[in-house]
Amino acid sequence: MIVPIHLTNSNDIQYDITIDNLPYLEFKNKIAIITNETIAPLHLDHLLDHLKAPQVTVVTIKDGEEYKNMQTIETILDELFENRLDRKSTLIALGGGVIGDMTGFCASLYQRGIEFVQIPTTLLSQVDASVGGKTGVNNRYGKNLVGAFYQPSAVYIDPNFLKTLPPREFAAGIAEVIKMAVMFDKDFFEYIKREDISDPEILKQCIKRSVELKAQVVNQDEKEAGIRAVLNYGHTFAHVIENETQYKTFLHGEAVAIGMVMANELAVELGLLSVSDGIEIEALLARYDLPTSYHIEDLDAFYEHFYLDKKSANNSIKFILTNGQIGTHIIKSDIDESVVKKVLERFV
Amino acid sequence: MIVPIHLTNSNDIQYDITIDNLPYLEFKNKIAIITNETIAPLHLDHLLDHLKAPQVTVVTIKDGEEYKNMQTIETILDELFENRLDRKSTLIALGGGVIGDMTGFCASLYQRGIEFVQIPTTLLSQVDASVGGKTGVNNRYGKNLVGAFYQPSAVYIDPNFLKTLPPREFAAGIAEVIKMAVMFDKDFFEYIKREDISDPEILKQCIKRSVELKAQVVNQDEKEAGIRAVLNYGHTFAHVIENETQYKTFLHGEAVAIGMVMANELAVELGLLSVSDGIEIEALLARYDLPTSYHIEDLDAFYEHFYLDKKSANNSIKFILTNGQIGTHIIKSDIDESVVKKVLERFV
């Protein structure tokens, strides 16, 4: 199945997201595949068997968020220059979100921009990173602080890649699927609750719906001036949790799961979510063995940490909450510190 | 006077280029001025006297093309993070082309893009770098090979800055003005020939017309897929000359002046320019003490060098020539090697 993406507000960009077995890809010009040491042994041969190009360069980087930095970007760019890729060349991202973000960033930078194709190999990157054009790297000041908005020319989502994905990482991807449903689509939420996502056809439907929903949001607001911030449901809390645990305890999707539970508690407190809906969301997260609780050591420190997030321009903290029920959303930036702390206290 | 820029093909970007005494600038959020050690003592106080912002960070880098690299970009970005600039902050480029290119690049990268304002202090950057959105840095493989297309939110061209510009640099700027006239506007060419560009009002008119012409070209073709390449008239040769002389002998505009003469010789050879028009252009360049000759040591090496230019995708060399007379242009990528070498032999 194909989800056509049409970003009318962003230079009228159009590309297709194909959710199916990897098709045969043909390129007229030189290409480079960017992948990592974990993915290459699992899936590189499969990709190489499915493509044709006058020259194929493979750049294999180390696996891990800690290598998502400018140094790795420069290493990749050097390889591209050494292999004389030109303005008509294409980069292919084969891997998860880190590979996608860095490949897109390199594509945006190389000779001021060449095409890139995404082949996401994790559920999280299939549903999340494959739409939206956020590329970039981390630095000592925080995550994704240096980068570009840059869209791929095509995305190929092959659910077969997920067969080698560790169960924890699969679940972390589900967290983002649930996030999309809770914020934007009650029917989709009910569908996930009702169906068995381990069924390949159901999984494809879930990926498709998540991608469609995200595309709608991004089309309305590519640069995150408004509604795109809703995609950060659970993230305001998750970023603090990831930071406090130095990105070692939880996968991103796991921290988001906890963050959604925290956001829901706040929503219940403010009368923006019923207690029973909150329980339903938590139960669905728990069904995929996602964590739903976290022990806050120092409440004041946790609260202060919100301000370090780059999304908190001019010192107001944005909380993304349901707006009365599942499938609706609101961005609140005027919640009193005491209310937030009262809710957080339940996690102390 | 104001030249309104409206890039209809690029996300409908609009901004104004003001050609006048620097106005008073007011910002609601934190800003940073990026400048260099040469410009700061001359013009920084003047700028500081003309602006108001809740926080002003000044980042002063070393002067010179050799500092136009990723290391300097990272140094600048670090300063921005240290001073907690946010997504609503603005960068101000105070300097020539190198400062403009790097400030624009930093603005494109910082938190995936913040606004930037250009205050170009050289004639070259006033007529050339202030329109077009080409930002970036050099690396060991060549010039401007890493960067982004990113447009400023405003450009302030104050010809008073030119009073401190060394005469050679002023002339190098004139070379680009003449380039625009030869490619696009016969009347403008006659105007430059007729008038005295040292007159401040004439100079303003020349800057205005150059900026207008460039804006028209960029609007048709931001990403240099077609007509924008015409702006590289003289540059195919200039890049080789700059490279052979390691960027030490000639200023960029000077190399372009020689390159235009070479391109004209080729055009005459191909019947695309009359001998007398060629002489007229050369005489106008010479009037501003611009170099018009160059000694080629090794003709084959000079020719081979064309291929190292990033603009030569897929191994065809693009020559930008007049198309019959002054004020017209053509992009030729099918000129026989023997013809090019026959012309180059006159410079051996």
The ipTM (two decimal places) reads 0.89
Are residues A231 and A216 part of one domain? yes
Q: Are residues A317 and A173 in the same domain?
A: yes
- Compute φ and ψ for A334, nearest 5 degrees: -125, 25
Q: Which residues pair with A137 in a beta bridge?
A: A146
Regarding whether A195 and A121 lie in a shared domain, the answer is no
Residues of chain A with Cβ-Cβ distance to B11 below 8 Å are: 9-11
Residue B96 CB-half CA count within 13 A:
25
**Residues B292 and B286: beta-carbon distance below 8 Å:** yes
Query: pLDDT tens digits for B43-70?
Result: 999 999 999 999 999 999 999 889 999 9
A 10 A CB-CB count for A60 gives: 18
Query: Residue A25 is encoded by which pair of tokens?
Result: 């890809």
Query: Of B130, B163, B196, which residue is a domain's last?
Result: B163
Domain that holds residue B105: 2-163
Tell me the average pLDDT across B249-257: 94
* E-assigned strand segments in chain B: 2-7, 13-19, 25-26, 31-36, 51-52, 56-61, 90-95, 115-120, 134-139, 142-149, 154-157, 319-321, 330-332
User: What's the pLDDT score for residue A225?
Assistant: 72
CB atoms < 10 A from the CB of B51, how many?
A: 17
Let me know: does A310 contact B86? Beta carbons within 8 Å: yes
Q: Are residues A175 and A56 in the same domain?
A: no
Where on the phi/psi map is residue A203: left (φ > 0), alpha (ψ -120 to 50), or beta? Answer: alpha
Query: What local confidence, expressed as pLDDT, does residue A143 receive?
Result: 85
Domain boundary pick from A145, A164, A183: A164
Considering the domain architecture, whether residues A152 and A171 belong to the same structural domain is answered as: no
- Same domain? For A187 and A253 the reply is yes
CA A223 vs. chain centroid, Å, equals 15
Are residues B109 and A74, on separate chains, in Cβ contact within 8 Å? no
* A199 and A225 inside one domain: yes
pLDDT in tens, B188-243: 999 999 999 989 999 999 999 999 999 999 888 777 778 888 999 999 999 999 98
The closest of B256, B249, B241 to B180, measured between CA atoms, is: B256
CATH of the domain at B287: 1.20.1090.10
Match 């970009």 to its residue by tokens.
B73
- Angle of helix B275-287 versus helix B167-184 axis, rounded to 10: 150
What CATH number has the domain bearing residue A86? Answer: 3.40.50.1970
Residues B184 and B36 in one domain: no
Q: Are residues A203 and A258 in the same domain?
A: yes
Does the CB of B1 have a partner CB in chain A at under 8 Å?
Answer: no
Average pLDDT over residues A138-163: 94
Average pLDDT over chain B reads 93
The token duo for A183 is 């914020």
Residue of A278 and B11 predicted with greater confidence: A278
**Sign of the four-CA dihedral B341, B261, B96, B25:** negative
Both A128 and A205 in one domain: the answer is no
Residue B149 binned pLDDT confidence (cut-offs 50, 70, 90): very high
Q: What is the pLDDT of residues A66-91, one digit of tens each?
A: 999 999 999 999 999 999 999 999 99
Interface of A with B in 10-39 (CB under 8 A): 10-11, 29
Total count of domains within chain A? 2
pLDDT for the residue A257: 97
What is the pLDDT averaged over residues A203-222? 91
- Is the pLDDT reported for residue A313 higher than 60? no
**B233 backbone φψ class: left, alpha, beta (φ>0; ψ -120 to 50):** beta
What amino acid is encoded at B179 in this protein?
Answer: K
State the SS3 of B279-320. Answer: HHHHHHHHHCCCCCCCCCCCHHHHHHHHHHCCCCHHHCCCEE
Give the catalytic positions of B in this structure.
Answer: 112, 134, 176, 214, 224, 228, 232, 235, 239, 252
Q: How far is B6 from chain A (nearest CA, A)?
A: 14
Decide if A314 and B77 are in contact by the 8 Å CB cutoff. no
Instruction: Give the position of tokens 């000129």.
Output: B335
Residue B145 has pLDDT above 80, yes or no: yes
DSSP H/E element including A229 = none
CB atoms within 10 A of CB B291: 19
* Residue in B112, B145, B313 closest to A134 by CB: B112
Contact criterion met (CB < 8 Å) for B113 and A148: yes
Q: Measure CA B104 to chain center.
A: 14
pLDDT for the residue numbered B9: 66
Average pLDDT, chain A: 93
Amino acid present at B53: A
Q: Which of A176, A212, A222, A254 is catalytic?
A: A176
